[in-house]
Structure 1
Amino acid sequence: MNDSAAPDLPPAERWRAEAARLGASPHHPPNHAVRNALAVVILLVATAVVVDFARRPALDWEVVWKYLFDPTVMTGIRNTLLLTVLSMALALVLSVVLANMRLSGNPLLRAIAGVYVWLFRSIPLLVLLILWFNIAIIYPRIALGIPFGPEWWATDTRNVVSGFWAAVLAFGLQQAAYTSEIIRASLLAIPTGQREAAAALGMTKVRTFFRIIFPQAMRIAVPPISNDTINLLKATSLAAFIAVPDLLYTVQTIYNRTYQIIPLLLVATIWYTVFVSLLSYGQYHLERALRRDRVGRIL
């Protein structure tokens, strides 16, 4: 810009004059009137839809409030939460092992983990659930002992793998296949230079993994794993197909007796919404705790 053309003007005025000389149009704040009007219309329509839905006689809110804290429903809630916690705990432990096997230098370990992930991602969850529920048909007895030798302990499979534990195994083993890929990708996202620096400091591979690599990988893995936990919570409703008394099964039991299908399904919907909201809230605070400026506090 030629400052000698207007030496007496303030810098801001000189820039505007130069911009006008070059043909640049002045910046005007955008007019959001149309956008704001559209947002108001959408809000009004959404409100009208929600109010109309809530006023439908089929919902029968008196029945909803009657059964919302019913002891049978509370038992179903307890089983749903227990299914979610046990299945996700199994999935997390197994997924860390599988992810490290996939990253191992041993081709046999990589192949075993790869086949596991391929197999459990290929089988639909409902099919896997029914298979585990009927595992006693394939293995009538469970025994511990020396292969092809004496048995130290044996029992019928049905005494060990009940419907509840069949659901835990089905949910946990399949979720491990998905979660292991999340953890593997998170581990690969950590620069190799950090491993080399830890080795230069004399740290063992195990110590390097748990003190340097794994905490950083978790910051990457927490959001998708949290989403998987929410999906797993909702997927536990499939346990109703094998008569596990979870939340959905208990409300089905009630409406099969009272024929009040919609109000009881609304009860289940309310509770699932509450738990998903709590998990989302916990995810938000967990992500904040794992931010880069707080890593030192959690290590």
Structure 2
Amino acid sequence: MTEHSLPALAAGTAPAPTAEPPPPTDAVPAAQRVIPLRHPRRWVATAVVLVLLAQIVHGLAANRFYQWDRFAYWFMRPVITDGLLITLQVTVYSALLGLAGGILLALGRLSGNPVLRVVSWLYVWLFRSVPLIVVLLFLYNFSALYQSLSLGVPFGPAFVHFDESRLATDTAVAVVGLSLNEAAYAAEVVRAGILSVDQGQHEAAASLGLPRRYQFTRIVFPQALRAIVPAYVNQLIGLVKSTSLVFYVSLLDLFGTVQSMGSTYPGDIVPLLLVATVWYVILTSAVSVVQFYVERHYSRGALRSVPPTPLQRLGAAVRELRARAGKEAAL
């Protein structure tokens, strides 16, 4: 430091800065800003899809052939709701019996007993090979082959007799036929779910000294449900639609009622078919909602965080839009 600079420092004057301070963030030139990536093809695809949806909605609303006034008339008529209740009743009974039978068949196929393995495989092979309508018609005409059923010693005396005509009501035939068919497909779904569990889990369960029943119900089966639930819900949706075949065994479910009313009122065939379509969509949508929450429940042990519910996703999307709008306004 020189002698000439001493008086200046003593007087309190600061030295001249050597460099200019950096500009504030808001003053960054436009050429240096980060420009978000544009997706023109995505916007074009979105516009095309929206135009197609608008055309479909316009065609449904403007075409008088659909007779939406008659649709509204038939939608909640007692005759339709009675058929809907029969559809729900047959579906619930068949789903429960089919799942129980599928679990037993799956355990039989995985059993170390060769007789159980062969019998279970033959059952699955047979009922997956025969169409459902053939099974229903065969059971409906079962009384022509066997007028009565009995329990006793094979080729010997019978202890209990059943009148087949009293047992084989229309509802019983429908439930039994659907359950037999459903059990064959449910068996493969359950077997695949059990095989998807890591072998180490089986060994760990066995090392705890638990009985085989507890190993299956407490350790193996809860983990297998993560793979069973999505596939079996598809089976349930197919079962809901398969109930429309019980019309051919004289059971007036939802579809059978629509067919009957269509024959009585031929001018209302299209609105009646639309009524059946909407009710089947509602039923399958309800099953899908139950599937989502069941999968969410059983995913807790496999995922770090459970999937968000639709309301949570909607709230996150709204917050994201607000944040994006705030950033654009700031720019």
What is the TM-score normalised by the length of structure 2?
A: 0.77
Q: Deviations over 1:166-197 (max 9, x none)?
A: 11111111111111111111111112222222
Residue 69 of structure 1 corresponds to: 76
Residues 121-171 of structure 1, C-alpha deviation per residue, up to 9 Å, x if partnerless? Answer: 000111111111111122121223444444443243121012221111111
Q: Tell me the residue number matched to 1:169.
A: 176
Name the CA distance, whole Å, in 1 between partners of 2:263 and 2:301.
54
1:209 aligned residue (213, 216, 220) = 216
Partner of 1:266: 274
| AA aligned opposite 1:268 | A
Q: Which amino acid aligns with 1:274?
A: I
Counterpart Cα distance in 1 of 2:187 and 2:256: 30
Q: CA RMSD in A?
A: 1.8
- Residue of 272, 281, 289 corresponding to 2:289: 281
C-alpha distance in 1 between matches for 2:98 and 2:35: 55
Deviations 1:209-257 (A, max 9, x none): 1100011111110000011101100110011112211001111111211
1:202 is paired with a residue of what secondary structure? coil
| Cα distance in 2 between the residues matched to 1:214 and 1:293 | 13
Q: Which amino acid aligns with 1:70?
A: R
Query: What TM-score, normalized by structure 1, do the two folds share?
Result: 0.85
Q: Which residue in the other structure is 2:148 paired with? A: 141
Residue identity in the other structure for 1:119 = L
TM-superposition CA deviations, 1:95-136 (whole Å, max 9, x none)? 111111111111111100110000000001111111111111
Change (3 A) 1:132 1:54: farther
Gaps of 5+ in 2: 1-33, 304-331
1:58 Cα deviation from its structure 2 partner: 1.8
Distance in 2 (alpha carbons) for counterparts of 1:222 and 1:290: 9
Q: 2:161 aligns with which of 140, 143, 154?
A: 154
Q: Could you tell which deviates more after superposition, 243-252 or 54-63? A: 54-63
The amino acid across from 1:210 in the alignment is T
* In structure 1, distance between residues paired with 2:94 and 2:236: 9
SS of 1:237's equivalent?
helix
Equivalent residue number for residue 37 of structure 1: 44
What do the CA deviations read for 1:44-83 (whole angstroms, capped 9, x no partner)?
Answer: 1222122212322121111111111111111100100011
Q: Which amino acid aligns with 1:220?
A: A
Map 1:1-299; keep pairs closer than 5 Å. Answer: 30-259=37-266, 260-293=268-301
Match of 2:8 in 1: none
Which deviates further from its counterpart, 64-73 or 144-153? Answer: 144-153
Deviation at 1:29, TM superposition (A): 6.1
**CA distance in structure 2 between the aligned counterparts of 1:232 and 1:30, rounded to whole angstroms:** 46
C-alpha separation in 1, matches of 2:57 and 2:204: 57
Looking at structure 2, the residues matched to 105 and 180 of structure 1 have their Cα atoms a distance apart, in angstroms, of 17
Whole-Å Cα distance in 1 between the matches of residues 148 and 101 of structure 2?
25
Instruction: Report SS of the residue matched to 2:255.
Output: helix
> Could you tell me how far 1:294 is from its partner in structure 2?
8.4
Task: Specify the alignment match of 2:313 in structure 1.
Answer: none
Q: Give the AA of the match of 2:192.
A: A
Aligned length, in residue pairs = 269
Cα distance in 2 for partners of 1:129, 1:234 equals 15
SS, match of residue 292 in structure 1: coil
SS in 2 for 1:78: helix
Q: Partner of 1:199: helix, strand, or coil?
A: helix
For 1:120, the aligned partner's letter is F
Distance in 2, matches of 1:141 and 1:51, equals 59
Structure 1 unaligned residues grouped into runs of 5+: 1-26
Q: For residues 127 and 67 of structure 1, what CA distance do their matches in structure 2 show?
A: 32
Structure 1, 42-51 or 61-70: larger mean CA deviation: 42-51
